């Protein structure tokens, strides 16, 4: 993992920034998975848990992984208050480094990862995440597109990718359903226009 985005970086970032007051799930996740029947999901790089909680509220059982203990602590608290104790048990929070942690193969009906700048070899990470998708299941990868001037100005270039680059790592066992550069208006950052790379693919049954 490059020094700037290692475990210490993320932990320090969460410790020095207040918890999100109202964690909201990513718009690409909600748009791309809305019609899926709930099952087992993996949220890789879950942060403060907004995506995992949203999925659990819709019936998914989620394994939510992050390298930052502070983020996971906040995520647990958010799940307990948003879901109640009963449904909060639908989420297993796992502290692990995605650059070395390998999820079980062909296990999850949905594997999702949003804006995770995890290491200098993203293709390897996405290959491991893709391998974790069950037959008939969905892979969703969302990140910063190279056209995103806002993040390009402050993040190193290896953070950016296109959906086609991720799709190129998938073989004939996959059907690519979405591969787009999608814009959205930022809630913060002065309302800047952000560009997301959005890749959704389905492993054929």
Ligand X SMILES: C[S@@+](CC[C@H](N)C(=O)[O-])C[C@H]1O[C@@H](n2cnc3c(N)ncnc32)[C@H](O)[C@@H]1O
Using CB positions, name the residue nearest to ligand X.
47
Binding segment for ligand X (CB under 6 A), chosen from 67-75, 86-94, 128-136, 175-183, is 67-75
Query: Which strand ranges, in their side-by-side order, compose the sheet holding 133-144?
Result: 91-95, 61-66, 40-44, 108-114, 133-144, 193-203, 174-185
Binding segment for ligand X (CB under 6 A), chosen from 60-68, 146-154, 159-167, 181-189, is 60-68
Cβ(199)–Cβ(112) below 8 Å: no
Which residue lies nearer to ligand X by CB, 88 or 142?
A: 142
Q: What angle do CA 182, 7, 109 make, to 5 degrees?
A: 50
Q: For ligand X, which residue of 66, 109, 148, 196 counts as binding (CB under 6 A)? A: 66
Pick out residues in 25-54 that bind ligand X (CB under 6 A).
Answer: 26, 45-47, 50
Q: For ligand X, which residue of 1, 56, 129, 198 counts as binding (CB under 6 A)? A: 1
Pick out residues in 79-138 that bind ligand X (CB under 6 A).
Answer: 97-99, 114-116, 118-119
> Whose structure tokens read 């594997």?
111
Least Å distance, CB 125 to ligand X, is 8
Does the protein bind ligand X through residue 148 (CB under 6 A)? no
Which residue lies nearer to ligand X by CB, 68 or 138?
A: 68
Least Å distance, CB 135 to ligand X, is 25
Which residue lies nearer to ligand X by CB, 85 or 156?
A: 156
The closest alpha carbon to 181, from 149, 144, 156, 152, belongs to 144
The contact set with ligand X (CB under 6 A) reads: 1, 5, 10, 26, 45-47, 50, 65-68, 71, 97-99, 114-116, 118-119
């Amino acid at each position: 993992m490059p020094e700037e985005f290692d475990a210490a970086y993320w932990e320090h970032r969460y410790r020095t920034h207040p918890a999100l007051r109202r964690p909201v799930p990513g718009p690409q996740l909600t748009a791309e998975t809305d019609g899926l029947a709930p099952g087992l999901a993996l949220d890789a790089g879950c942060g403060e848990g907004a995506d995992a909680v949203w999925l659990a509220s819709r019936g998914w059982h989620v394994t939510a992984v992050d390298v930052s203990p502070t983020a996971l602590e906040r995520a647990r608290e958010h799940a307990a208050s948003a879901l109640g104790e009963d449904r909060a048990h639908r989420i297993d929070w796992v502290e692990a480094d995605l650059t070395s942690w390998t999820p079980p193969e062909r296990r999850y009906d949905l594997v999702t990862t949003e804006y995770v700048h995890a290491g200098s070899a993203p293709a390897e990470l996405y290959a491991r995440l893709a391998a974790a998708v069950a037959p008939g299941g969905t892979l969703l990868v969302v990140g910063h597109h190279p056209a995103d001037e806002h993040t390009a100005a402050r993040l190193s270039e290896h953070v950016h990718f296109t959906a086609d680059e991720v799709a190129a790592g998938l073989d004939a066992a996959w059907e690519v359903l979405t591969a787009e550069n999608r814009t959205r208006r930022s809630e913060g950052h002065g309302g800047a226009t952000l560009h997301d790379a959005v890749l959704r693919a389905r492993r054929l049954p």
